[in-house]
A and B are shown apart, each in its own frame.
Chain A
Amino acid sequence: MILLLALCVAGRTQAIPAFAQQTGQPCSACHVGAFGPQLKPYGRDFKLYGYTSSDGQKHLPPIALTLQTSFTHSAGDHDGALEGLEPNDNFLGYQQISAYYGGRVTKEVGAFVQVTYDQVGAVAHWDNLDLRYAHPLQIFGQDSVLGITLNNSPTVQDLWNSTPAWGFPYNTSPVAPTPSATSLADGTLAQQVLGVGGYVSWNDWLYAEGTVYRSISRYLAERLGVESSRTTEDLYGAYGAVPYGRVALEHGNDKHYFQAGAFTLEAERYPPGSQSAGAPDHIVDRAFDASYQFKGGDNHFVSAHAIYIHENEDLRADHLENGTLSKDELRTLRADVSYSFKDTLTPSFQLFKTTGSRDAALWGTPNGSPESWGYVAEIAYVPWGKMRSPIPWMNLRLAAQYVSYRVFDGSSRESSLNDTLFLSLWVAVAPLYAVEKSSLPK
């Protein structure tokens, strides 16, 4: 079960040299540590304006490929390993292979489309999707942007790395144990829904967005490879309309950047096979987040994020069918800081804590408590992706990550058996960018 839950949150990707191909800019122009997905101010602008910014040159289609290779060691062995996996010390030669279309479609329309093959799930499936239309204009005499987004995961469209879809850690082990209790906003809906929304950014100060999601049909999910890569026990079958609202304030100058915001996500869901049971469960997530970034010349970049998610669960269906409490709540707090030296060496540290009401039938933990807390320490090395890097169409990231639990699934006893060392190599190439470069006159 732990392993299956891990599959749901593993493998977030996104550093693609196809964006470099379109803009002529190195990875470090947009990304902290010269490798995605942590965004600098220009990276946020690029996304805000719909991935359409361009160097004015004609380019081949912005296609990119990534490969992740990893080794995972946990302090203790774990039951329930999937076929082909060991209870511990798993080397995944092709943990995740992804292909992307990333960039401009028309002058005001752009796309980030990712399809992925997971070695653990042994399945190809659709992954992150964010199609955008962005139109710059003046509102009350100030520079503004109006946009539309079509995406398949709440917060995948967000500009800040404080929110779940692109939050730290950016690469996680798909075979490491992870806590059972997860809020709706923390990736539970990723690739299970499709949503359309509108956003506005006003005067580099106010950002507001509203999006409505719906579950994709089982027929579509099967064809997009989603169900077979995830546990159906966790899917909860179907969601009704899922409204998502987001507001953020931001302010920055050449050195400092601040952002503070909030979002809300609300869903009605049915336990598996129980859609005729009457009233569905009603889940409401309210989250507050903040970001800070400091740019110290060309060599130093500090970045910090924090998020608090409070989830209220009115379990009308689950209570009747599965014996859960009628109401539960879950609170999640995470805060991370990273320092990037010359966009090459980036140590990061995160504290995380989840607490909530005790409900063994809901969380599936031995004592019913959803509590887990601990830290993540990581160091990443990215040799390329800078202005003077020798191969602009290729980049790679080597990382060592350690996850430590002081409490895991409600218990501090033996929680350290879940501590995990995760070593990863992440390679990104833009093959058509390479073709462009090779065809240029010397």
Chain B
Amino acid sequence: MKQSVVALGLASMFAFGATLADPPVTVNQAGLKFSSKDLEVNKGQTVVFLNEDTTSHNITVTDGNGVTVNSGLQPPGTKFEMPFAKAGKYLVTCGIHPKMRMNIVVKQP
């Protein structure tokens, strides 16, 4: 529930502040790896995590203060959209596959 509220808050912030935001960036999950190890996006930009594996994933996004957004179980073929409304550094992991890790830096445009 708490995670959902955080996600909803992030989504709301995105909705108010992203009218001129950049288009979404897609990160693929295939072969139990993220397609990017490091990614830079602009504040307000959305990252779409696409599960192209044959197994489920569980996207977990943690900011510098330890606040976490959890996608829940992400079945194969589905996507999880994560708007980044706040500049900073984020660690993205898969809760199921701990070696799947990537860093996202959100810049102030």
Closest-CB distance, A392 to chain B (whole angstroms)? 12
Chain A neighbourhood of B70, CB < 8 A: 56
Chain A neighbourhood of B58, CB < 8 A: 24, 54-56
Q: Does A29 contact B (CB under 8 A)?
A: yes
Within 8 A of B (CB), among A41-82: 42, 45-46, 48-49, 52-57
With contacts A55-B73, A56-B71, A57-B72 taken as known, whether A25 is within 8 angstroms of B98 at the C-beta atoms is: no
From B54, B71, B96, B101, A53 is in contact (CB under 8 Å) with: B96
Q: Does B56 contact A (CB under 8 A)?
A: yes
Interface-centre pick from B31, B54, B58, B72 (highest chain A CB count, 10 A): B58
Q: Does B60 contact A (CB under 8 A)?
A: yes
Cα-based distance from A187 to B53 in the complex (angstroms): 39
Report yes or no: B56 in contact with A24, Cβ–Cβ below 8 A. Answer: yes
Cα-based distance from A52 to B54 in the complex (angstroms): 22
Report yes or no: A45 in contact with B56, Cβ–Cβ below 8 A. Answer: no
Report yes or no: A254 in contact with B31, Cβ–Cβ below 8 A. Answer: yes
Closest-CB distance, B28 to chain A (whole angstroms)? 15
In the complex, per-residue mask of B61-77: 1 if CB is within 8 Å of any chain A CB, else 0: 00000000011110000
Q: Does B55 contact A (CB under 8 A)?
A: yes
Report yes or no: B73 in contact with A204, Cβ–Cβ below 8 A. Answer: no
Closest-CB distance, B1 to chain A (whole angstroms)? 10
Cα-based distance from A53 to B70 in the complex (angstroms): 13
Chain B neighbourhood of A48, CB < 8 A: 98
Within 8 A of A (CB), among B35-92: 54-56, 58, 60, 70-73
Report yes or no: B97 in contact with A53, Cβ–Cβ below 8 A. Answer: yes
For this complex, 12 residue pairs linking A to B, each with C-beta atoms less than 8 Å apart, are A23-B96, A24-B73, A25-B96, A29-B55, A42-B97, A45-B98, A45-B99, A53-B97, A56-B71, A56-B72, A56-B73, A387-B54
Chain A residues with CB under 8 Å of chain B are: 23-25, 29, 42, 45-46, 48-49, 52-57, 136, 143, 204, 254, 298, 387
